[in-house]
Chain A
Amino acid sequence: MIRVMLPAHLRTLAHAGGEVQIAVEGQATQRSVLDALEARYPALRGTLRDQVTQQRRPFVRFFACEQDLSHESPDAPLPDAVASGAEPFLVIGAIAGG
């Protein structure tokens, strides 16, 4: 199971807890994790990535294992620790403004 931490607004929107656990078929990548996340929580469609282009929304960032994965290919394998469930995949709303 992949552990995903969502920001507060999206937890509320999806009626999800602080950490959600999702099953991913095949290799764990950003794309496969987000596909599984959106399938389980349809309200999250469009909140993390554009529904047509699949591009990450500008103020959304992805972190895991103390690394910023936001600019990695959506099809790149996630770290083993994320794939094994040892570490969570963190979705962060960028801190923007003054």
Chain B
Amino acid sequence: MTNVRVLVGTRKGAFVLTADGKREQWDVAGPYFGGWEIYHVKGSPADPNRLYASQSSGWYGQQIQRSNDGGRTWDPVDNKFVYDGVPGTHQWYDGTPHPWEFKRVWHLEPSLTDPDTVYAGVEDAALFRSTDGGLSWHELAGLRGHGSGPHWQPGAGGLCLHTILLDPGNPGRIFIAISAAGAFRSDDGGATWKPINHGLISQYIPEPAAEVGHCVHRIAMHRSRPGVLFMQKHWDVMRSDDAGESWHEVSGNLPTDFGFPIDVHAHEPETIYVVPIKSDSEHYPPEGKLRVYRSRTGGNEWEALTRGLPQSDCYLNVLRDAMAVDSLDPCGVYFGTTGGQVYASANGGDHWAPIVRDLPAVLSVEVQTLP
């Protein structure tokens, strides 16, 4: 019997939600690490019982937790994230140089093939890798060192590396995204990097088409077509058909092209999901209606998905790492809100229902489809 395990990171702990393949009755376990911010929890594709969690606190700093039993028990592993060499400076909000300072881990991306290899995207933006199950971390310093690092500037949430995509067909290819520097690609396993932001236009920076300086909120791909990327930028939903070499806008008829998460249907590479948010200054859904928008044409033509979602007086947000899909048929789609709800749809977004309603603000949602 196939099962689904939803891994939820919140402002005050982690939760593990499980159901069978029908996805109707849910068991809620947690909070794990109660009182700590859990930016992200993710399982290894190579060993679903191996999970990694980023646990942090303004008081006590960063911890990385590891589970070998699907989240029932956890042990802290290494939490020493030290930039390679002399870290140098990036730009501060006012454009002045600011020293690189480690603050927290935003995103953990386990290897597609090795449970002991995991990547960590951190603030201030850098990419780290562990090849021993989190017992030690080493920076892939070619990213910060490729040349544009001194010009990177933080977004409102900090200078965070929040997206890591591993190419299933090319072990050397990695995509990452940084707010507010942009997207980058490595073709040699993370040794060297190039910015891939051609076609992005950000009117709020001095040179709207600059190589870096773009506030990329999230990138997604379908594993069968890793050269096609979808991006939710600060403003604009974008698409690339050449592994990021060029981008074009596919916002189409969305009510607003601002938002955070974006994801791709598990079985339909041209079906994508976003959650439009009214604006960068308000950060809640337009008209107080929580609507997921689905495009079955790879962008430009969007339909609102509303059944089961609040259509009045709804003023929450859905953060960049808080949407995921399972690989069942029909595909399940999940997202969490800053209001503490985790919504699930067991039919590709046609109908939604909350799994839980009153968690702490949700920071991340990941899904494992278990045999």
Where the two chains meet, the residues of A that have a C-beta atom closer than 8 Å to any C-beta of B are: 7, 9-10, 13, 42-43, 45-48, 51-52, 57, 59-60, 93-94, 96
- Report the bound CA distance from A59 to B59 in whole Å: 5
- Whether the pair B80, A46 counts as a contact (CB closer than 8 A) is yes
Q: Which one, B60-68, B112-120, B317-325, B350-358, is touching chain A? A: B60-68
- Whether the pair B82, A10 counts as a contact (CB closer than 8 A) is no
Known A-B contacts A9-B35, A9-B36; the reply to A57 vs B79 at CB < 8 A is: no
Known A-B contacts A10-B60, A43-B63, A94-B59; the reply to A52 vs B82 at CB < 8 A is: yes
- Report the bound CA distance from A61 to B150 in whole Å: 34
Interface string of B24-55 (1 = CB under 8 A from A): 00000000000110000000000000000000
- Whether the pair A43, B58 counts as a contact (CB closer than 8 A) is no
Chain B binding surface, main DSSP class? loop
Q: Nearest Cβ distance between residue A40 and chain B, in whole angstroms?
A: 14
- Whether the pair B80, A47 counts as a contact (CB closer than 8 A) is no
B269 within 8 A of A: no
Chain A binding surface, main DSSP class? loop
Q: Nearest Cβ distance between residue A47 and chain B, in whole angstroms?
A: 4
Q: Nearest Cβ distance between residue B297 and chain A, in whole angstroms?
A: 47
Interface residues on B, range: 10 to 19
B57 within 8 A of A: yes
- Whether the pair A46, B76 counts as a contact (CB closer than 8 A) is no
Q: Nearest Cβ distance between residue B102 and chain A, in whole angstroms?
A: 9
- Whether the pair A46, B79 counts as a contact (CB closer than 8 A) is yes
Chain B residue at minimal CB-CB distance from A94: B59
- Whether the pair A46, B61 counts as a contact (CB closer than 8 A) is yes
Q: Nearest Cβ distance between residue A1 and chain B, in whole angstroms?
A: 24
Chain A residue at minimal CB-CB distance from B76: A43
- A10: which B residues are within 8 A, CB to CB? 60
8 contacts between A and B (CB under 8 A): A13-B76, A43-B63, A43-B76, A51-B79, A51-B80, A52-B82, A60-B60, A96-B59
Chain B residue at minimal CB-CB distance from A48: B60
Name the residue among B58, B61, B62 with the largest chain A CB count within 10 angstroms.
B61
Interface string of B77-100 (1 = CB under 8 A from A): 001101000000000000000000
Chain B residue at minimal CB-CB distance from A43: B76
